Amino acid sequence: MLRCISPVGRVSSIENIDCVEELITNRPIRVGLIPTTDDRTYDMTVEADAFLPEHPSLDDARLAALLSKVAIDADWLEQELLRELDAPLATFRKDLEKEGAS
């Protein structure tokens, strides 16, 4: 199984977190919210999984589809929720490296 996670940004400062639920109600998006008081660069992610088929020749296509879906969904949510704060991926690098080490 492959798992892809993309940070969206800090959404805990949004007055009404119900906005997130409303936005994704009719879209097949899995969102992760990270309850924290730490000074993180993000507290919301978009996540998706894909099972690898029995035929390795199909792995590239599955991986490409997974990466594309997560990136598109995360970018869309970022634009909807954080219009003025579109951060480059480098902004999240330190926090992503911490998670990769755990």
The Cβ-side half-sphere exposure at 38, using a 13 Å CA radius, reads 9
CA-based max dimension of the chain: 47
The contacts of residue 2 (CB under 8 Å, 6+ apart) are 49, 50, 51, 52, 62, 63, 66
Q: In terms of residue numbers, what domain contains 19?
A: 2-101
Q: What tens digit of pLDDT does each residue of 52-91 get?
A: 777 777 788 888 999 999 999 999 998 888 876 666 667 7
Mean pLDDT, to the nearest integer, of 88-99? 71
Three state DSSP letters for 52-96: CCCCHHHHHHHHHHHHHHHHHHHHHHHHHHCHHHCCCHHHHHHHH
* This prediction's pTM: 0.78
Q: What's the total number of domains in the chain?
A: 1
